[in-house]
Structure 1
Amino acid sequence: MNIKPLADRVVIKMVETEETTKSGIILTGSAKEKPQVAEVVAVGPGKVKDGTLVKPEVKVGDKVLTNKYAGTEVKMDGVEYTILGEDDILAIVE
């Protein structure tokens, strides 16, 4: 099953974070911070502003930084995704 976002929405998959600190301490699930780096999986066509279609600046495969608790989490075929508006993407990571 595929997710096809509408308007300026973007589907992302969070990038896993380190579970061990540099000093070797293993972090439990509650001690880890929610990751903010994600990979773009799907992008909507854009939104209409002043009668013109404004295309999204991100594309599939981009690594992005997002607001910490933005979007709606969904689980499909055992994989967790987040659907959010392009406004919740802070930057593209190069």
Structure 2
Amino acid sequence: KGSPPVFLYHATGDRLVRPEHAWAMMQALDEKKVRHEIHWIRGRGHIAAFLMPGDSVEMAIAFLDRETHRADPLRSVSHSSTGRP
């Protein structure tokens, strides 16, 4: 409860940390009802996924932007000069 959202990216050709580990993590996040998103990097291995992440960086930034604006308290509070909403 109250866990932060999680962004994962994983290479489908990773033989060091198999894609099954990412699936298991997603299932655990689902069970705990933690918001999450995964981006699969097709055909790359463990090291190549970090050296050439493709659009994963942009997707992670977009995810963080969406999640940080989701709970922005200043967007939901009305302010006035009288101190009353």
TM-score normalised per structure 1: 0.19
Structure label with greater radius of gyration: 2
TM-score, length-scaled by structure 2? 0.20
